[in-house]
Each structure stands twice: as C-alpha cells, then as structure tokens.
C-alpha cells in the first residue's frame, strides 16, 4: 500500500460516519416544502449527531472492507450555480458489494430499508464536501446501474432528493439517464485512479430542476 493511501485512511478514520439510530434532529414546521414527493428523505434526520456538529468530510462504514475504494468530493452551490452554500446537510446511502442494503438487525426507522452504509455531511463557508466509501454494486439479477442515493437539507427548506450519483463507466447506465435535465447538477461521476484510490467530483446546485424551489433573487 502506498504511503499516501495509508495517510488517507488515517485521516478518514478521524471523520467517522454518524451511527444509525436515535434521531435527534427534528424537522422544522416552518421549512418550505419543495419537490414532488420524497419517500425516505426524512431519513436525513436520523443522524444522532446534531447537524451543527457535522463535518464536511465523512467516511462510510464500508470503507475498511474489501472493494473499490472511492473518494467523492465537490462543492454545493446556491441556485445561481456560483455562490458556495453554507450549512447544507448531505445524506448519502447505497448498497454493499452484493447489491443489497445491508442491515445488522438492530436498525430503526429508515435504516431498516437504507441499511447501515450511509453517512451525513455539512458544508462550511466554502460549500465543499467529501466522503469516502466503496463503489456500490448493482441490485442482484438486475440491469439497474450502480448508484448512491443523496438527500439535501438546507436552512429554511425541507429535505428533498437530487439525482443519484451514477458511474460513467457502468455498462447499465442508459443514455436517457445522462440526457435528461439534471436535478441538483449532473450526478454522473467519472472516477479516476490516483494514489491507489478512485477519485471523482460532483458539484451540486441547490434547487436545480426541483419543483417549487424559490427562484434566485
């Protein structure tokens, strides 16, 4: 293993993913509801760490397991696509290396469906985020492209979904997935191997193609 990768692993472990139960973050009744429905988006509130204590870097629980390691990073912008957005919470979850959402048997709430491979991050003033995980597998016996589910929660607006993280080299990725208007910015990743790890970038634009989202002033 290369020294830089070892250093990366040590750094990553300093940012453990939130544990999976005992929600402490409550939905605000005054939040503006946007989007067109979002089954499971409320799982973003199941992180037991208060949102104001989250980091902009997280490591999902599978990162130390066998599989293709990946670093995914980017910047979250306001709806103008230029101004970095502060205090935005990003929730992600995905399948394991067999294509299922794994559980340990003691999950509560949405963790019973989303599994334990999930994490939470919050942007700082620069809007940047980063998380470490394994590239997930496609659902068993399917032609569904492998993907990572993201949910967004920004101040004053209720949680909503954006396009999944997809992988450009996935043989199951259909052209229509890449041609339709992006929701929250283009989610198709183009990973590159660097220093012994796959690395990919995705920027997110808040509210882009989200129904009911307030127009930028």
Q: What is the pLDDT along the chain (217 residues), one digit of tens a residue?
A: 344 443 344 334 444 445 444 445 767 778 999 999 999 999 999 997 999 999 999 999 999 999 999 999 999 999 999 999 999 999 999 999 999 999 999 999 999 999 999 999 999 999 999 999 999 999 999 999 999 999 999 999 999 999 999 999 999 998 766 677 999 999 999 999 999 999 999 999 999 999 999 987 6
- Measured distance CA(88)–CA(160) in Å, rounded: 12
- Measured distance CA(148)–CA(138) in Å, rounded: 10
Of 35, 51, 43, nearest to 155 by C-alpha is 51
pTM, two decimals, is 0.88
Q: What is the separation of C-alpha 100 from the centre of its chain, rounded to a whole number of angstroms?
A: 17
- Measured distance CA(76)–CA(95) in Å, rounded: 24
> Which SS3 state, helix, strand or coil, does residue 176 take?
helix
- Measured distance CA(103)–CA(93) in Å, rounded: 12
- Measured distance CA(158)–CA(25) in Å, rounded: 13
Question: In degrees, to the nearest 5, what angle opens at C-alpha 127 toward C-alphas 10 and 87?
Answer: 95
* 56 within 8 A of 129, measured Cβ to Cβ: yes
């Amino acid at each position: 293993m290369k020294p830089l990768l070892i250093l990366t692993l040590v750094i990553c472990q300093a940012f453990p993913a939130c544990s999976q139960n005992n929600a402490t973050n409550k939905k605000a009744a005054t939040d503006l509801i946007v989007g067109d429905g979002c089954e499971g988006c409320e799982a973003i509130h199941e992180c037991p760490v208060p949102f104001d204590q989250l980091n902009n870097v997280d490591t999902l629980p599978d990162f130390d397991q066998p599989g293709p390691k990946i670093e995914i990073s980017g910047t979250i912008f306001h709806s103008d696509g230029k101004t970095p957005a502060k205090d935005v919470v990003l929730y992600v979850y995905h399948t394991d290396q067999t294509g299922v959402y794994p559980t340990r048997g003691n999950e509560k709430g949405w963790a019973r469906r989303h599994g334990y491979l999930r994490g939470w991050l919050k942007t700082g003033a620069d809007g940047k985020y980063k998380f470490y995980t394994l590239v997930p597998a496609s659902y068993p016996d399917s032609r569904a492209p492998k993907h990572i589910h993201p949910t967004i929660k920004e101040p004053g607006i209720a949680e909503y979904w954006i396009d999944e993280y997809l992988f450009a080299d996935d043989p199951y990725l259909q052209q229509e997935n890449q041609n339709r208007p992006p929701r929250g910015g283009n989610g198709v990743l183009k990973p590159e191997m660097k220093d012994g790890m796959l690395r990919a970038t995705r920027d997110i634009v808040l509210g882009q193609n989200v129904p009911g989202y307030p127009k930028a002033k």
